[in-house]
A and B are shown apart, each in its own frame.
Chain A
Amino acid sequence: MTALDLAHSDLRAVNAQLQSLNGTQSNAEFDVLNPRGSHALAVGLDAPIAVRINGSTGYYCAGMNQHATVRVAGSAGPGVAENMMSGMVVVEGDASQYAGATGHGGLLVVRGNAASRCGISMKGIDIVVQGNIGHMSAFMGQKGNLVVLGCAGDALGDSLYEARLFVRGSVASLGTDCVEKEMRPEHLETLAALLGRAGVEADPASFRRYGSARTLYHFDIDNAQAY
């Protein structure tokens, strides 16, 4: 375990040290101290290292992550795990807006609430939120799974493509072209596996599934008012 203290070294130096292992198979472990809401902490990692951040972070923590496991022992500012490719990011507290946006892969777990636009334009990332999510979440989601143990805000899954949404609590409103769908055995299986990976105990059968009605894939004049 290597301690990296932001009270004594600057952000670029800490990020450079973490990124110096990119492209290797290193399993090194790092403890980042005094993050004090810093921006872009632990971004661009590309090695199976483990990074624990002891406190809350600002914008874009763990963005573009590949292979690494990043744990934020606090809350995360806007854009946590944005464009993640693989690996795992865990936020012990809350996440601000657009958590996991545009992610291609990997798993983002938020133990608290996630604000608006969670998983916007998700492209294969899996996201598990133990609390609630805000409005416009999974907007234009193309691929991947968004699992919410709490409630979802307005316009969930607006203009959704093939991302799958599982919500245990209430949904304030569904976005355009997002509908509730049947929960089939393969969905229960997917959900059980995701909950297991996220370290969350919950009965998959207690969730409802939402997905795309697929009416907006191609422009159709009869759907003009729905856009």
Chain B
Amino acid sequence: MCGIVGVFLKDSALEPDLGAMLTAMLVTMTDRGPDSAGIAIYGREGSGPYRITVQSPDPAQDFPALAARLPDAALVGTASHAVLTLDPDRADDTLAVIRAEFLTVRVMSHGARITIFKETGLPRAVADTFGIAGMAGTHGIGHTRMATESAVTTLGAHPFSTGRDQCLVHNGSLSNHNDWRRRLRHYGMTFETDNDSEVAAAYLTHRMQGGDNLGAALEAGLRDLDGFYTFVVGTENGFGVLRDPIACKPAVMAETDRYVAFGSEYRALVDLPGIDAARVWEPEPAKVYFWERAA
């Protein structure tokens, strides 16, 4: 069991409230996943800097060293995570330096808009540690984890990001993830964990690198990924939902002219603005749902 929440805003007036909306939803889903929690939040687009979110088990040691090694990047650390902002032209070099020289530092996400914070512990504590409630953005996805397939660690928490501005959260368990991890490695994908959900994220990244849009990548996933899943996926401009054909894992969606929202249960949605008048439905099994905003 795990809990998933997600919001994709259509009305920009709600953007300052996104972090608060997601935090409340995430905390409501605590009893579905008290092991760990995480959130991916997409800031407003623009010609701004590139963002790299990193995590370290020893931030006191690693983050000052990282700041000294990368003078072009501005580093803001919060507990075990730090966000580096830098010129987009420096992104590839910077990622290469972090991965080659800082072996205890893990890249949580990178992109023009995405930031990921995730940690073991109760969702309320995780959200408070990183100040999620104060964050603004256009869309975001959160996850509360009750681990079944791999260890309770920061890296095993969701969301998983395996490509620029992409992330995935998962409720369920995949049965052919080892096979797909092996295949995706042949295509050059790298993995941080033994987690099945990371494979699903990498699979979608691989498909999108090959030219699929989010909807097409999810359609392909329906054919290739075997097991139980409800996925919620974010891209720079998009938000997608997919349930496996058996659809044991719960899912409720709500849509108004101001937002699209996802919750593992209706409880997660009850405080959203205008929920009483929203269209609320259970997403169909094996049907791809995705929303994209014009870039």
Number of B residues near A (Cβ < 8 Å) is 17
Bound CA span A135–B244, Å: 12
In B270-285, the 8 Å CB interface with A consists of 270, 280-282, 284-285
Q: Give the total number of A-B pairs whose CB atoms are below 8 A apart.
A: 42
| Known A56-B280, A78-B250, A116-B247; contact A37-B270, beta-carbon cutoff 8 A | yes
B266-A75 in contact (CB<8A): yes
Q: Flag if B285 contacts A134 (CB, 8 Å).
A: yes
| Interface majority SS (helix, strand, loop, mixed), chain A | loop
Distance in angstroms from A62 CB to nearest chain B CB is 16
Q: Is the interface of B mostly helix, strand, loop or mixed?
A: loop
A115 adjacent to B267 (CB under 8 Å)? no
Interface assignment of B198: CB less than 8 Å from any CB of chain A? no
Give the interface size class of chain A. Answer: 10 to 19
Known: A75-B280, A78-B250, A96-B250. A37 touches B285 (CB 8 A): no
A38–B270 alpha-carbon span in the complex (Å): 11
User: In the complex where A78-B250, A97-B247 touch, is A58 in contact with B267 (Cβ < 8 A)?
Assistant: yes
B265 CB to nearest A CB, Å: 6
| Complex interface: chain B residues within 8 A of A77 (CB) | 250, 265-266
The listed residue (B267, B268, B285) touching A116 by CB distance below 8 A is: B285
Say whether A94 faces chain B, with CB atoms less than 8 Å apart: yes
Rounded to whole angstroms, the CA-CA distance of A135 and B285 in the bound complex is 9
B interface residues (Cβ-Cβ under 8 A, vs A): 245-248, 250, 252, 265-270, 280-282, 284-285
Some 6 contacts from A to B, beta carbons below 8 A apart, are A37-B265, A58-B265, A94-B282, A96-B282, A97-B250, A116-B285
Top 8 A-B pairs, shortest CB-CB distance: A37-B267, A37-B266, A36-B270, A56-B266, A115-B282, A58-B265, A96-B282, A58-B267
Task: Add 14 more A-B contacts to A57-B266, A116-B247 (CB < 8 A).
Answer: A36-B270, A37-B269, A38-B267, A56-B280, A58-B266, A75-B266, A75-B280, A77-B265, A78-B250, A96-B282, A115-B282, A116-B285, A135-B247, A135-B285
